[in-house]
């Protein structure tokens, strides 16, 4: 019917897949599953070789999954495999501490009994979460994984996006989803600028084995040099996320294990008995990086690619999974009503939904961190009064708890335990 000579060069009728996901970390595979479950055909491009991420041994990395994130994993059919290896967080105690003195009496105590939904969250080791995601994407007929390839070029037109890999291969789809982290190449190639802030702080991350049981209690100590999170893992093991000035972190990280432990011990006292290291030690520089836009025509950014936050309270992964659930819902609804699901007007719904949420959270954590990483006695008095006040007012406290469990705000359906 058509005149093939007509000067319309925007036509690309066939796409090999609906969505190309750049990044094979955690958000990428989670997004692939959420979309493939809704009938989208998905391809993941991972820069790392196939076996680089899989590790059967505990390497010390773990996540504090908010309850909402756990529900998403359950909706994706992953929780049955993860449940036995997870540790429910039954209580969170937030305390203001000072180096050398150990923690002061706790100021805010959140107990899961104060909300009806269940535990506040779950601790889960990276190796189990990654393995569950990898197995599920390998088993899903609508997902293709290309490992060990980086994207060298990306182009968009009126109907889709085409990427070129380092091997010269080209792939096209209606939508490109950048799940490629805080230094997202997808964002860069799309011309999306970022705003950043370097805290001059670095997180030291490790896991310890200890003598006395943790009883599912998580602790957050706010120290003048930065917060210290003590998060219960299955068994008598605990994950430590310890933020301090980059200078000090570099010094501490250079110490041998014994010296490292000697610095760590006095910071949180002796309530877990004798401690020793379990797994490797990691350092992560803390910086905040927000993409100016989360979407441009045919491209959407997810997780750290859109908003890299630092790992206080494990919000990075939780925010990312919230993006995953929101984007999957927006795209699925758009396709159900016959819209071009990768059009800008559809993608903007995702951006409107998520940008407000994550900017507020990023700035909120920023403020919390700056407020607490400070030894000014006036600020200290103010924050102690503040935490004490929250603790004393049940309604306010329930809001805090629901916020910590990831249940606040406009929750995507997959995180409410409902189908899309």
Q: Which residues bind another protein (CB under 8 A)?
A: 1-3, 6-8, 10-11, 13, 38-39, 158-159, 333-334, 336-340, 343-345, 348-349, 352
Residue 334: CB minimum distance to another protein, A:
8
Angstrom distance (rounded) from CA 303 to CA 291:
10
Residue 40: CB minimum distance to another protein, A:
11
At 239 the three-state DSSP class reads strand
Cβ closer to another protein: 254 or 337? 337
Cβ closer to another protein: 374 or 416? 416
In this structure, the number of other CB atoms found within 10 A of the CB of residue 63 comes to 24
Residue 162: CB minimum distance to another protein, A:
15
Cβ closer to another protein: 115 or 342? 342
Whether 316 contacts 182, CB under 8 Å: no
Residue 217: CB minimum distance to another protein, A:
39
Cβ closer to another protein: 12 or 81? 12
- Using CB atoms within 10 A of its CB, is residue 374 exposed (0-12), middle (13-18) or buried (19+)? middle
Residue 121: CB minimum distance to another protein, A:
28
Residue 419: CB minimum distance to another protein, A:
10
Cβ closer to another protein: 287 or 333? 333
Cβ closer to another protein: 124 or 299? 299
Whether 8 contacts 31, CB under 8 Å: no
Residue 356: CB minimum distance to another protein, A:
11
**SS3 letters for the chain?**
CCCCCCCCCCCCCCCCEEEEEECCCCHHHHHHHHHHCCCCCEEEEECCCCCCCCCCCCCCCEEEEEHHHHHHHHHCCCHHHHHHHCEEECEEEEEEEECCCEECCCCEEEEHHHCCCCCCEEEEEHHHHHHHHHHHHHHCCCEEEEECCCEEEEEECCCCEEEEECCCCEEEEEEEEECCCCCCHHHHHCCCCEEEEEEEEEEEEEEEEECCCCCCEEEEEEECCEEEEEEEECCCEEEEEEEEEHHHHHHHHHCCHHHHHHHHHHHHCCCCCCEEECCCCEEEEEEEEEECCCEECCEEECHHHCEECCCHHHHHHHHHHHHHHHHHHHHHHHHHCCCCCCCHHHHHHHHHHHHHHHHHHHHHHHHHHHHHCCCCHHHHHHHHHHHHHHHHCHHHHHHHHHHHCCCCCCCCHHHCCCCC
Cβ closer to another protein: 16 or 340? 340
Cβ closer to another protein: 26 or 327? 327
Cβ closer to another protein: 105 or 338? 338
Residue 327: CB minimum distance to another protein, A:
16
Residue 347: CB minimum distance to another protein, A:
10
Cβ closer to another protein: 35 or 132? 35
Residue 11: CB minimum distance to another protein, A:
6
Residue 325: CB minimum distance to another protein, A:
18
**47: Cα separation from own chain's centroid:** 19
Cβ closer to another protein: 13 or 258? 13
Angstrom distance (rounded) from CA 60 to CA 264:
16
């Amino acid at each position: 019917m058509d005149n093939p000579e007509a000067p319309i060069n925007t036509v690309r009728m066939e796409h090999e897949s609906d969505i190309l996901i750049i990044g094979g970390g955690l958000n990428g595979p989670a997004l692939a599953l959420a979309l493939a479950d809704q009938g989208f055909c998905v391809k993941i491009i991972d820069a790392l070789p196939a076996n680089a991420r899989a590790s059967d041994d505990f390497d010390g990395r773990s996540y504090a999954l908010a309850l909402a994130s756990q529900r998403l994993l359950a909706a994706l059919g992953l929780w049955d495999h993860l449940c036995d290896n997870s540790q429910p967080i039954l209580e969170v105690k937030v305390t203001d501490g000072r180096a050398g003195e150990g923690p002061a009496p706790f100021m805010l105590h959140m107990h899961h009994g104060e909300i009806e939904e269940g535990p506040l969250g779950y601790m889960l080791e990276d190796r189990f979460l990654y393995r569950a995601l990898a197995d599920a994407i390998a088993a899903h007929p609508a997902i293709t994984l290309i490992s060990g390839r980086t994207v060298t070029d990306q182009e968009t037109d009126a109907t889709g996006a085409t990427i070129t890999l380092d091997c010269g291969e080209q792939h096209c789809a209606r939508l490109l989803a950048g799940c490629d982290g805080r230094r997202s190449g997808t964002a860069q190639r799309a011309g999306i600028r970022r705003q950043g802030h370097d805290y001059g702080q670095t997180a030291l991350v490790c896991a310890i084995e200890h003598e006395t049981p943790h009883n599912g209690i998580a602790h957050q100590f706010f120290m003048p040099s930065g917060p210290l999170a003590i998060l219960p893992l299955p068994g008598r093991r605990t994950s430590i996320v310890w933020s301090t000035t980059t200078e000090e972190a570099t010094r501490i990280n250079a110490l041998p294990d014994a010296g490292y432990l000697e610095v760590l011990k006095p910071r949180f006292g002796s309530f877990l008995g004798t401690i020793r290291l379990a797994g490797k030690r990691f350092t992560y520089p803390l910086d905040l990086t927000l993409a100016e836009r989360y979407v441009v025509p045919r491209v959407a950014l997810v997780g750290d690619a859109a908003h890299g936050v630092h790992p206080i309270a494990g919000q990075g992964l939780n925010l990312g999974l919230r993006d995953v659930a929101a984007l999957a819902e927006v795209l699925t609804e758009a396709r159900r009503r016959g819209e071009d699901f990768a059009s800008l007007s559809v993608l903007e719904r995702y951006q409107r939904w998520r940008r407000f949420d994550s900017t507020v959270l990023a700035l909120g954590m920023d403020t919390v961190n700056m407020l607490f990483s400070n030894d000014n006695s006036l600020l200290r008095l103010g924050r102690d009064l503040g935490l004490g006040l929250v603790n004393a007012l049940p309604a306010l406290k329930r809001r805090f708890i629901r916020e910590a469990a990831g249940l606040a705000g406009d929750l995507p359906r997959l995180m409410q335990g409902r189908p899309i």
